[in-house]
Structure 1
Amino acid sequence: MTRIRHEARYLEIDGALGYVEQAYAEGACVEPPGEGVPVLCLHTAGQSGVQWRRTTEELAALGYHVIVPDLPGHGRSEPARTGPVEDLAQYAQWCQRLLTALELERPYVVGCSIGGKIALELAVRAGGELAGVVALAAEAGPGRVNVAGLRREMQDLAAPSRSDRTYLGTLAVVGSAVPPATAELIATMHRREDPAVSSADLIGWGTHDVRDALAAVTCPVQLVAGQDDLWLDVERVRRTAEALPHGQYELLPGVGHYPMEEVDGFAGLLDGWLRRLSRDRAAAG
Structure 2
Amino acid sequence: MRADYVEVGGTRAFVLEEGEGQPVLCLHTAGQNGVQWREVQPRLAELGYRVVVPDLPGHGRSEPAAGGPVRDLGVYAQWCEELMDRLGMDRPFVVGCSIGGAITLQLAVRRGARLAGAVAMAAHGGTDSAMLSVRGLERELVDSAAPSRSDRTYFGTLAVVGRRVAAERAELIARMHRREDPEISTSDLIGWATHDVLATLDGVACPTHLVVGDDDLWLDPADVRRAADLIPDSRYTLLEGIGHYPMEEVEGFADVLHGWLGELGARESRGAA
TM surpasses 0.5: yes
SS at match of 2:143: coil
2:49 pairs with one of 56, 64, 77: 64
SS, match of residue 79 in structure 1? coil
Tell me which residue corresponds to 1:13.
8
**Map of 1:1-285 to 2, 5 A cutoff?**
6-24=1-19, 36-143=21-128, 144-156=131-143, 159-285=146-272
Given that 2:206 and 2:268 are in contact with CA atoms closer than 8 Å, whether structure 1 keeps it comes out as yes
Q: TM-score with structure 1 length normalisation?
A: 0.93
Equivalent residue, structure 2, for 1:29: none
Say which is worse superposed, 83-92 or 158-167, in terms of deviation.
Answer: 158-167
Q: Which amino acid aligns with 2:25?
A: L
The one-letter amino acid of 2:103's match is: I
- Cα deviations by residue, 1:206-259 (Å, 9 ceiling, x for unpaired): 001001101111101000000100010100000111100111000000100000
**More displaced 10-residue stretch of structure 1: 154-163 or 218-227:** 154-163
In structure 2, how many angstroms separate the alpha carbons of the residues matched to 1:58 and 1:217? 29
Q: Cα deviation per residue 1:183-213 (whole Å; 9 max; x = unaligned)?
A: 0000000000000000000001000100110
The Cα of 1:158 is off from its aligned counterpart by 7.5
1:180 deviation in Å? 0.2
Match of 1:30 in 2: none
The one-letter amino acid paired with 2:22 is: V
C-alpha change, 1:283 and 1:157, in structure 2 (3 Å) is: farther
C-alpha separation in 2, matches of 1:132 and 1:155: 40
Asked if the contact 2:210/2:234 (under 8 Å) is kept, the reply is yes
Query: How many residue pairs were aligned?
Result: 270
What amino acid maps onto 1:18 in structure 2?
Answer: A
> Is the Cα contact below 8 Å between 1:157 and 1:196 reproduced in 2?
no
Task: Mark the runs of 5 or more structure 2 residues left unpaired by the alignment.
Answer: none
Scaled by the length of structure 2, the TM-score of the pair is 0.97
Q: Which runs of 5+ in 1 are unaligned?
A: 1-5, 26-35
CA distance in 1, matches of 2:174, 2:145: 20
SS of the residue 2:77 aligns to: helix
Task: Confirm or deny: 8 A CA contact 2:139 2:145 kept in the other structure.
Answer: no
Distance in 1 separating the partners of 2:267 and 2:107: 18
Alpha-carbon separation, structure 2, partners of 1:101 and 1:140: 26
Return the alpha-carbon distance in structure 2 between the equivalents of residues 187 and 82 of structure 1: 29
CA drift at 1:155: 2.2
Amino acid at match of 1:101: R
Q: 1:229 to 1:157 in 2, by over 3 A?
A: farther
Superposed CA RMSD:
1.0
